[in-house]
Amino acid sequence: MSAALTAHRSVADVFDHVWENRSALQSREAHAMMLLALARENPDLACLTVDMDYEASFTGALARQHVNLGIAEQNMISVAAGMTVAARPVFATGMSPFVSARAYEQIKVDVAGANLPVKIVGTHGGLASGHYGPTHHSTEDIGALRLLPNMTVVVPGDAWEAVQATVAVAEDPGPAYLRLGRQATPALYEERTDFVLGRARVLREPGRVVFIATGPHPNLVAAQAARELAEQGVSAGHLNMHTVKPLDREAVVDACARAEAVVTIEDHRAVGGLGGAVCEVVAEIGGPPVRRIGVPDVHYDLVGGEQYLLHHAGVNAANAVAQALKALA
């Protein structure tokens, strides 16, 4: 983080700064600013990283509360679990494809199983680092981590929601996985509204169709698809399901009672993640047809930019509109 960003010292300052610059800031950058502010207010908060560029900000300001363990995700998770004896909460940050998959056993046993206040932060979520190839795709993390007991899974939709989610998971007593992107994305909100873990945000009231999305790009796709359907005379709603676990069951049930079709959109495999979680609820209540948009269930071995890979996977407004119309038909 630059000196200009770390100059915002208080939690209130960071909230104001991120809100004013919400379309220009990366979500991971906004999160780091808030984490530093929270650490200043709470001397028991600790931050562990695996060479994630936090050193300049934390070492200069709060060296006692930060440890860089090098590129060793498995070790970092176990160390984070052990540190909860003296520190609460403990944030453990790494790139999402590695901090979720490489350290899965440690997360399962040391953190989720023990129900410890370790907050795992995965940056470069989804296809954000697709230019590095499939080793850096992170399209299984939501599904894998939502399977674990006690684990909260949060996917903020923009930089503003990232700082809100950072505060929320810090205050929550259990383990959490916070998934962040890589590049700045357009803001989803025009007004400052409250953020509550496990409660979806209604960006557009459900109509004949309801789009349920999680994460920055899927929510932008959902918003565009809803507008395009409205232009065609088809009413469409949009829910931002920022918390995949615990899923806002009430919001899904309400949407299903009002809509004739549900379309889920995620920067993740179409199996196991948001789409799977929504389908579990819809199947239990006998709801309307559901169409899931996400990365196909194949070895997605393409190399390219984030937008190219998302479009190739069908995570785009044209496909969202087409899937909605097919479901209605």
- Give 10-residue mean pLDDT values along the chain (329 residues): 59 95 94 94 95 76 89 97 96 96 97 98 94 94 98 98 98 98 94 95 96 98 98 97 98 97 97 97 96 94 93 97 97
Report the CATH fold assignment for 201-328: Rossmann fold (3.40.50)
**What local confidence, expressed as pLDDT, does residue 6 receive?**
56
Q: Tokens 């996985």: give the residue.
A: 177
Which region holds residue 150: left if phi is over 0, alpha if psi is between -120 and 50, else beta? Answer: left
**What local confidence, expressed as pLDDT, does residue 142 receive?**
98
Which neighbouring-strand residues pair with 15?
Answer: none
Locate the domains of the chain by residue range: 3-179, 201-328
CATH, domain 3-179, list 3.60.20.30, 3.30.1330.50, 3.40.50.970, 3.40.50.1370: 3.40.50.970
**What local confidence, expressed as pLDDT, does residue 34 receive?**
95
**What local confidence, expressed as pLDDT, does residue 106 receive?**
98
The C-alpha atoms of residue 126 and residue 267 are separated, in whole angstroms, by: 5
**What local confidence, expressed as pLDDT, does residue 58 receive?**
78
**Same fold for the domain at 3-179 and the one at 201-328?**
yes
**What local confidence, expressed as pLDDT, does residue 317 receive?**
98
Alpha helices in the chain (DSSP H): 3-6, 11-20, 27-41, 55-62, 73-83, 96-101, 104-106, 141-146, 159-171, 216-231, 249-258, 274-285, 306-313, 317-328
